[in-house]
Structure 1
Amino acid sequence: MKKRVIVGLSGGVDSSVAAYLLQKQGYEVIGLFMKNWHDDSVTISDECPWLDDSNDAMLVAEKLGIPFQTVDLSEQYKERIVDYMFDEYEKGRTPNPDVLCNREIKFDVFMKIALDLGADYVATGHYCRKTTLTKDGQDVHQLLAGKDPNKDQSYFLCQLSQEQLAKALFPVGELLKPEVRAIAKEQELTTADKKDSQGLCFIGKVRLPEFLQQQLKPKEGVIVEIPKDNAFYNETVPTFNSKLEELQYQSRKPSYEVSQGKIMGKHQGAHYFTKGQRKGLAVGGTVEPLFVIDTDVKENVIYTGQGTAHPGLYKSALFVSNEELHWVREDLALDTDETMQVLARIRYRQPLENATLHKVESGLYVEFENPQSAITEGQFVAWYLDEELVGSGVIS
């Protein structure tokens, strides 16, 4: 009996080639397209609306001679991704919908549909790899970085569980992007030269402020520039009685007030902005460009600083609460007071940085060797041992 794999055909080149490779490996392959969105008013219509994508996915399935159907997951998508995003922005946090989409939609709702259709596995076009080792008589699945350093997408899968990985296949993880395109050309797949889609997973390009404005009403507030010599940045570092005290100090959030800086302009809502953001402030006349160093959604104030070296952008530690801590490798989870040397990143495409994990009673601190720019609440931090992603969490 051939093993059955259901491929999430997105209408892009990566998932198309994933389907072809699985077919070549002797699997019974079925293509499924996820429709996650109905509202065309906020998508930039000529930038990959779902209709074109589902059409391309269908043409690829036809070319490969595999069964194809579309599943409508827009209700679950709205509930689990869109509502969550609005909620996070309203709290002044910056969510990562792509990480959530993988955990909640592709490897949960979609996976359940696939298993109901008798699938042994679900496959996607992600650039990452999976291996399985045996430990104490149990199968342990490892999530490894993709072979292509420019395309490694393991970060987006940082919230997957052992159960989800057990049923997942990533056929293009061993390839470089140009090799994937070459295979698609060779097989005359319609997606061979298609541009990679940008924007929200499976929605296409969205104008984020307009998208957010549907739910979060505009509200005028001030943009304040905090000078580099603000007292907060120059205070004498206290003496610590414990490592925990030091970590609390390193990861603390500055509390700014309007009186500490200069009003530079107006904005339409602090909840539309995120730490490290430069675009959209529309303030000129400064020597260096302004970057958002903090937002206060309660008082509706955006705090900014000049230049990429502004001290308000940097911190050397962050905290993840127990509720938002996730181990892909549950067998490696730390107990209170344990530490682990890791490589970590706080956003996709960021080079991995040396860091130490410190498990405390209430959660986990990630302490970086070098200060990190724009550590943003609501985003995910992921940590690795060599090439293997072992855990992640939401930055508090």
Structure 2
Amino acid sequence: MLLKDQGYDVFGVFMRNWDESEETGNANCTVEADYAQAQSVCRHIGVPLHEVDFVRQYWTHVFSDFVAQCEAGVTPNPDLACNRHIKFGALLEHCKSLGADMVATGHYARVQRCANSGQLQLLRGVDPLKDQSYFLASIHGSCLAEVAFPLGGITKEHVRQLAMERGIPSAARQSSSGICFIGRRTFGDFISNYTEPVVGRFEDVTTGQDVGPCANMLAVTLGQGSGISGLKSRMYVVGKDMQSQRVYVAPAQGHPSLFTSSAALQEAHWIAGQPPQELQQGKGLSCSFKARYRQAPQSCTVSVPSDTRGVCKPSRFTRLRGVWPSAGLYVAFKDSARAITPQQAFVMYQGEVCLGSAPILYPGQTLYEMEIPAHGREDLQQPGAISPQALHSAHKEVDMRNLTYAN
């Protein structure tokens, strides 16, 4: 609507990325309803709608890897892979074959040309509550010249107001959230369609005691409530040892076993096509980061592992299946970070500019392991700074380049 108002020749495209016909247990499938909604909107604003099937590409480039990582016991984020391979890969090429010069999406993000280098940069959306640059942090920078984000410069509230004023059929529709192909099911119910459950035991990190059975270790992730019944207080997941089949839990949302001052990352994807100059020169990169979508940005220093620095002793609460790649980057957090989760996207920013992303390889030792107290529940949104001495103690003795997880 906004682009048509500006005089652009616009057509719509509806993607089918997921085949619901072979699934069981999903009474909330919405693809047909979504398609009917897209048809209604396009009729209302007077533009044609094309339909394209990317089910095979989605399975190959996104979902198969998602399942493999779930089986290893990590928590992958398929949305970044979908944007990289499907929306800003296959869809972009398909739209160009239909005669499009650019592809516009509803992401709350912006594109701007750098005054110094002349390169196009990906920026946060102006609405801090809806900024979606996190999910775009693995796309190729070369595609920024062929995409538009017309919603990136306005707020969600303003978008909804405009849609209601123009009578758009979907104006009052609730915003989507969560992984698209899971719908309203629990993650455990969904993943059981594609993996065998891994039965384990919960262990309280403060006492070492067994506190009950875990029906499926693949369905729990760091930071979430454990769901253990019959206990006096709620327990939170601290980590998983897939080899001994133990899920570590702690009795408070702000327990120090949930916080760390360091982490190791896999090789990074830089939107500019190359690392920032600081890293190329062997220096530390001061930047902000998000380790999950809803997280408020925090400060950190990123560096490349070397013989003399860039070491990060992993938390004993996190041991995965299989052999994992060596670390590509080391991160020291200015303030302690909560629930740093293997294979979630670690997205880096300088100011408003999204630099790129890297999968989290493992969290460093927790504050509990280092015997450093964490703040209570009231301070979870802005955890307090860790002393320089505490940060130093987290950086000892393990060269990330040579660290792997044993079979």
In the alignment, is the contact (CA less than 8 A) between 1:344 and 1:383 conserved in 2? yes
RMSD over equivalenced CA pairs, Å:
1.9
Amino acid paired to 1:66: V
How many equivalent pairs are there? 338
Q: Corresponding residue for 2:92?
A: 111
In the alignment, is the contact (CA less than 8 A) between 2:261 and 2:334 conserved in 1? yes
Q: What TM-score do you get using the length of structure 1 for normalisation?
A: 0.81
Distance in 1 between residues matched to 2:45 and 2:200, nearest whole Å = 55
Q: For the structure 1 residues 189 and 43, does the alpha-carbon distance in structure 2 shift closer, same or farther, using more than 3 Å as the test?
A: farther
Distance in 1 between residues matched to 2:182 and 2:95, nearest whole Å = 21
Matching of residues 183-332 of structure 1 within 5 Å:
183-201=162-180, 204-227=183-206, 261-279=208-226, 281-286=227-232, 288-322=233-267, 325-330=268-273, 332=275
After superposition, the C-alpha distances for 1:154-202 in whole angstroms (9 at most, x for unaligned) are 1111111111222111000011111101111111110000011223236
Q: Corresponding residue for 2:27?
A: 45
Equivalent of 2:82 in 101, 104, 117: 101
In the alignment, is the contact (CA less than 8 A) between 1:199 and 1:206 conserved in 2? no
User: Are 1:179 and 2:144 counterparts?
Assistant: no
Q: For the structure 1 residues 167 and 204, does the alpha-carbon distance in structure 2 shift closer, same or farther, using more than 3 Å as the test?
A: farther
Amino acid paired to 2:220: F
Distance in 2 between residues matched to 1:292 and 1:273, nearest whole Å = 8
The alignment-based identity, stated in percent, is 33
In the alignment, is the contact (CA less than 8 A) between 1:382 and 1:392 conserved in 2? yes
Amino acid paired to 1:327: W
Distance in 1 between residues matched to 2:25 and 2:152, nearest whole Å = 29
Amino acid paired to 1:272: A
Amino acid paired to 2:173: K
In the alignment, is the contact (CA less than 8 A) between 1:264 and 1:283 conserved in 2? no
Q: Corresponding residue for 1:14?
A: none
After superposition, the C-alpha distances for 1:311-364 in whole angstroms (9 at most, x for unaligned) are 221111111123xx1111235532262211111111102111111111235521
After superposition, the C-alpha distances for 1:116-137 in whole angstroms (9 at most, x for unaligned) are 212211111011111123655x
Distance in 2 between residues matched to 1:313 and 1:207, nearest whole Å = 23
SS at match of 2:337: strand
Distance in 2 between residues matched to 1:264 and 1:107, nearest whole Å = 46
Q: Corresponding residue for 1:142?
A: 121
Equivalent of 1:166 in 123, 139, 145: 145
Q: Corresponding residue for 1:337?
A: 282
Q: What TM-score do you get using the length of structure 2 for normalisation?
A: 0.79
SS at match of 2:114: strand
Amino acid paired to 2:60: E
Equivalent of 2:63 in 75, 82, 85: 82
Instruction: Structure 2: give runs of 5+ residues left out of the alignment.
Output: 307-326, 362-407
In the alignment, is the contact (CA less than 8 A) between 1:133 and 1:141 conserved in 2? yes
After superposition, the C-alpha distances for 1:202-232 in whole angstroms (9 at most, x for unaligned) are 66434321221112112432111110xxxxx
In the alignment, is the contact (CA less than 8 A) between 1:50 and 1:204 conserved in 2? no
Q: Corresponding residue for 1:242?
A: none
Amino acid paired to 1:283: S
Amino acid paired to 2:271: V
Distance in 2 between residues matched to 1:80 and 1:332, nearest whole Å = 25
Q: For the structure 1 residues 141 and 103, does the alpha-carbon distance in structure 2 shift closer, same or farther, using more than 3 Å as the test?
A: same
Which protein has the bigger strand share? 1
